[in-house]
Amino acid sequence: MKPNMPLVTLLTGAALGVGVLVASMLSPSSTASASGYGATPAASKSMAVKPAPASSASGGTSAAAPATTSATTSAPAPATTSAPAPATTSVTVPATAPATAPGTVPAATASVPKADVPSKADYVARTDSGGAAVAISVHAGKAVAYMCNGHAVAAWLKGTAKAGKLELTGKNGARLDVSYRTGKATGSIMADGTKYSFSAPLVHRGSSGHRPPGLYEATATVHGVKIKAGWVVLPGGSQVGSVEYFADADVTPTAQAPVLDLTTGTAQYDGVTLVASLISGFTGSGF
Amino acid sequence: MTAQPDASPPAPADVSLGIGKLVVPSLIGGLVALTLGVYGRLHHPTGVVVNIAGFTSAGYVKSWLATVATAFAIVQVSSALVMYGKIPRVNAPSWIGSLHKWSGRIAFLVAVPVAVNCLYGLGFQTYSTRVLLHSLFGCAFFGAFAIKMLILPKRGLPGWTLPLAGAVVFTVLIGVWFTSAFWFFSTFGLHR
C-alpha cells in the first residue's frame, strides 16, 4: 500500500469538487434545461384540454356579445337552441352545436356560459387545514391559481377554464381540481405532496382605498437571485404570502414572504422594494 | 486495518497519546465542515445546477447520485463489520479490504459533485427543518469524512476510533440522503 492513500482520496475529492465548481461557473446556460422541467407538464396539459379557438371564442364573444345578435348576454340561452345542450357540451364540443341545430350560429352557442358560471371571477380562501391559502382567478377561458402556506409551500398553477371546471397544473406535480360557480369555487389542490381542500367564496371588489382581496405577485432579482413572491389577500385584509427563490428553476426553495403593505401595494425584502401587481380575472389584469 | 495487539505496556499514557493524535485531524475536519457551511451561507446561490441528459431534472440527477453514494456506504459498513469479525460465521475474504477501500472511494467521489451543486446552486439554507438538517448534515459529512481519512494512516490510536469515525460518517450520510433524495423521490416520484 502506498504511504497515504486516504490523503490521496481526500485530495482527489477536493480536486473533483473544484473541477465541478468551475464547470458550474462556466455553464450558466444549464438553467435552461432546469426551467424546462416545470414548463413541460403544464404546457402539455393545457394543450390537451384546449380547443383553442373555442375557449377564446367563449371569452371573446361574451364580451362582444352585441356583435353576435344575442344582445342580452345574461339570458340568451333559450333563444339560441342550447337549452337541450347546456354549457358542458356547448363549450367543449363545438361540433355538436351544428349537428343539433344547424340553423344557429355555432359561435353564439359556444359563447353562452351556463348562467351560473361566471366568465370572469376571483376566489380566495384559506384551506380547510394546513394554514395555507388559495387564490383562483378566471378570465375568459383561462385560469390562474396560487396557493401558499406562508412558509415552505407555494405553487403557481394555470390552465383552461371550461364549463365551471378547472383542472390546473403547476411545477413539481402541483394540481388543482375545482368546480366554480357564481358564489364560490370548491375543490382541492395538491402541492408539495399534500392535498388541501377548500371552499372559496367569490371576491367582492371593495371601494375603499386599500388594495382589494385577491392574488398578488411580485418578482425581483435580489443579490443575483430571481425571486417570485405571491400573496393571497383575504377579505378583511389578512394575508398569506410565500417567496420562492430561483423562480425559473425546477426546485424553488420557498420561505415566508415579507408583509404586503395594502395601502401602497409594496413589500420590503432584504432592502429591495417589491412592487406587487394584482392578478385578477375580474379586471383581466395579469392575464 | 489490522487489529492492534494489546501489548502496549503503559496503558494510560498510551491512550492519552493516542487520543492526542486525533486533535489535528478533528480540527481540520471541523474546519472543512465550517468552510463548506460558511461558503454555502455567504455565496449567493445561483440556482444553476448541471443537468445530465436522460434525467428529468437536476434534482433527479442529484437524488440518484446521492442514492448511489448511500448504497456504496452500506457496502462500507457491511465490509467493515466483516473485517472486524462482527458477522458470525463469516470469515473475511482476502478481497474484503479492497472492497472496503474502493466502495468508500467511489461513494465519496460520487457525493462530491452533488455537494458542489448544492452549495453552489442552492447554498446553506434554513427555511424548513428538513432543509436546515440537510444543510447541517451535508457540511458535517465532509468534515467527518476528512477526519476519518486523516486518522486512517495513524498508528497507535485506541481501537474504537476508526469504528466510531466510520459510524459517524455513515450515520451523517444516511441523514443527508434521508433529508434530500428520500424526500425528493417520495415527493416527486421515483423515476429518472
State how far residue B27 is from chain A, nearest Cα, in angstroms. Answer: 15
B169 in contact with A at a CB cutoff of 8 Å? no
pLDDT in tens, B29-58: 999 999 999 998 887 666 555 556 666 667
Nearest chain A residue (CA) to B130: A152
pLDDT at residue B61, as a whole number: 84
A31, A152, A193: residue with CB nearest B47: A31
- Give CA–CA dist A280/A262, Å, rounded: 16
**Which residue, A142, A70, A71, is CA-closest to A109?**
A70
ipTM: 0.80
A192 in contact with B at a CB cutoff of 8 Å? yes
With contacts defined as CB-CB under 8 Å, which chain A residues touch B120? Answer: 21, 24-25
**Do A169 and A248 form a contact (C-beta atoms < 8 A)?**
no
| Residue A140 or A145, more confident | A145
With contacts defined as CB-CB under 8 Å, which chain A residues touch B115? Answer: 17
B113 in contact with A at a CB cutoff of 8 Å? yes
- Give CA–CA dist A8/A3, Å, rounded: 9
| Residue A180 or A36, more confident | A180
B44, B116, B149: residue with CB nearest A21: B116
**Do B47 and A35 form a contact (C-beta atoms < 8 A)?**
no
Cell numbers found for residue A247: 423562480
A209 band by pLDDT with thresholds 50, 70 and 90: low
Compute CA distances A149 → A125, B4, B119, B125, whole Å. 12, 57, 26, 18
A236 in contact with B at a CB cutoff of 8 Å? no
The pLDDT of A118-122, averaged and rounded, is: 91
pLDDT at residue A104, as a whole number: 40
Contact flag B45-A246 (C-beta cutoff 8 Å): yes
pLDDT at residue B3, as a whole number: 47
Percentage of chain A lying above the pLDDT 90 cut? 37
pLDDT in tens, B96-122: 999 999 999 999 999 999 999 888 877
- Give CA–CA dist A242/A232, Å, rounded: 9
State how far residue B108 is from chain A, nearest Cα, in angstroms. Answer: 7
Average pLDDT value for chain B: 84
**Do A251 and B131 form a contact (C-beta atoms < 8 A)?**
no
Most confident residue range from A84-93, A108-117, A225-234: A225-234
Compute CA distances A44 → A36, A158, A168, A276, B81, whole Å. 12, 12, 11, 29, 51
pLDDT in tens, A233-264: 998 889 999 988 878 777 777 888 889 999 89
Burial of B85 (0-12, 13-18, 19+ CB in 10 A): exposed
Contact flag B153-A16 (C-beta cutoff 8 Å): no
B49, B104, B186: residue with CB nearest A34: B49
B155 band by pLDDT with thresholds 50, 70 and 90: confident
